[in-house]
Amino acid sequence: MVRAEEHHGAIDLLVTDMVMPGMSGHELARRLQQEESGLGVIYMSGYSEQAAAEATKSAASAAILTKPFSRAAILRAVREILQNKTKN
């Protein structure tokens, strides 16, 4: 949260882990989305894709990557989120 508060300008995309100390990735995304409408989110998770999907099913501009994932997978997710953002 501190890094985002120090940033001047728009934030288009958040890449976060689902489970972190002190705050979940879902909570972080929700807080940032209050300030940045249309913020895209990529969640990373060591849990099964189904469990991660349940946690983020209400997020329209979100992608879920289960660990381990390839460089191609994260690049594809970034491209899809940012392309969808420009369409809306």
- What is the mean pLDDT of the segment spanning 7-36? 89
The residue written with tokens 């997978």 in the block is: 73
pLDDT over threshold 60, residue 1: no
The predicted pLDDT at position 35 comes to 85
For the domain 2-87, what is the CATH code? Answer: 3.40.50.2300
> What is the side-by-side strand order in the sheet with 62-66?
13-17, 40-45, 62-66
47-81 pLDDT tens trace: 766 656 665 565 557 888 989 999 999 999 999 99
pLDDT, mean of residues 9-35: 89
Number of neighbouring beta carbons within 10 Å of residue 77: 21
So where are the chain's domains?
Answer: 2-87
Element (H, E) at 52: helix 49-55
One DSSP character per residue, 11-37 reads --EEEEESS-SSS-HHHHHHHHHHHST
pLDDT band at 4 (very low <50, low <70, confident <90, very high): confident
Residue 45: count of CB within 10 angstroms of its CB: 21
